[in-house]
Amino acid sequence: PARTEINDANFSVLERLAHWQAGLWMFEDHPWLGVGIGNYGANYASYNQPYFYEPLGHAHNVFINFAAETGIAGLATFGMFWLGAAWVTARRAWARQGWISALAFGVLGTWTYLTVHGLFDNLFVQHMQLQLALLLALVAALSATATPGTRTLSQSGSSDGSRTTLRNSHVN
C-alpha cells in the first residue's frame, strides 16, 4: 500500500478523509440507528486512523455524520426533510409571486450552498440550520399570505395611484 507523508499542505485533506472513514465505519457497525445523536466524538476513539486521534465531534461531512450518528433511519428522515424543503421552496420560487419568489430563489441558493459545503464539513455545528429554518419559515409565512389568484404588493397597483393591498388586487 502507498504511504502519504502528513505535512502542512495536506493535513486538512487527510484529516477529513480520516474522519470520513471513521464515520463510515461507525455506520457499518451500527447501520440501523447509528451510535446515537451527538455521539460521534464519544465513539471516535474506537474508529480513528493513525495520527488522527483528536475527535472533532463531527465527521466533516454532514451526510456521513448523520449516517454514523442516526443510521439508516435518521439519514433517510434527514434526506426526506432536506429534499422536501428544497422541493417546497423551489415550487414557491417558480410561482411568479414577485419578491416572494425572489426570496425563495435566495433560500434555494442558501440550501444549495449548505448541501455542497456539507460534503466537506458540518456547518450544523455552527447552527447554520437555525438560519436556514428562519429563511424557510419566512418563505412559508409570506407564501401563506399570497393566495392563488392574487398579486403580491410588488405586482399590484391601481390606475388612480392609490395603494392596493394584497387582498383587493385580485387577478381576473
pTM of the model: 0.79
% of the chain exceeding 90 in pLDDT: 65
Residue 104 reports pLDDT greater than 60 = yes
Average the pLDDT over 115-129 and give the result. 85
Q: Are 143 and 100 in contact (CB under 8 A)?
A: yes
**pLDDT tens-place string over residues 63-94:** 999 999 999 999 999 999 999 999 999 999 99
Residue 169 has pLDDT above 50, yes or no: no
Higher-confidence residue of 148 and 63: namely 63
In the predicted model, what is the mean pLDDT of residues 149-166? 49
- Residues comprising the chain, all counted: 172
Average pLDDT, the chain: 86
Q: How confident is the model at residue 151 (pLDDT cuts 50, 70, 90)?
A: low
HSE of 151, CA atoms in CB hemisphere, 13 A: 13
Neighbouring residues of 30: CB distance < 8 A, sequence distance ≥ 6 = 68, 71
pLDDT at 127 over 90: no
User: CA-CA distance, 126 to 55, in Å (whole number)?
Assistant: 17
Instruction: Please determine, for residue 159, whether its predicted confidence score (pLDDT) is greater than 60.
Output: no
Residue with the bigger pLDDT between 16 and 159: it is 16
Residue 168 pLDDT more than 80?
Answer: no
Cβ–Cβ under 8 Å, residues 101 and 94: yes
User: Can you give the three-state secondary structure of the chain, one letter per residue?
Assistant: CCCCCCCCCCHHHHHHHHHHHHHHHHHHHCCCCCCCCCCHHHHHHHCCECCECCCCCCCCCHHHHHHHHHHHHHHHHHHHHHHHHHHHHHHHHCCCCCHHHHHHHHHHHHHHHHHHHCCCCCHHHHCHHHHHHHHHHHHHHHHHHCCCCECCCCCCCCCCCCCCCCCCCECC
Query: What confidence score (pLDDT) does residue 160 get?
Result: 52
Of 127, 140, 80, 135, residue with least CA distance to 108:
135
Instruction: Please state the rounded mean pLDDT for residues 155-164.
Output: 49
- Given a contact cutoff of 8 angstroms between Cβ atoms, the answer to whether 110 and 132 are in contact is yes
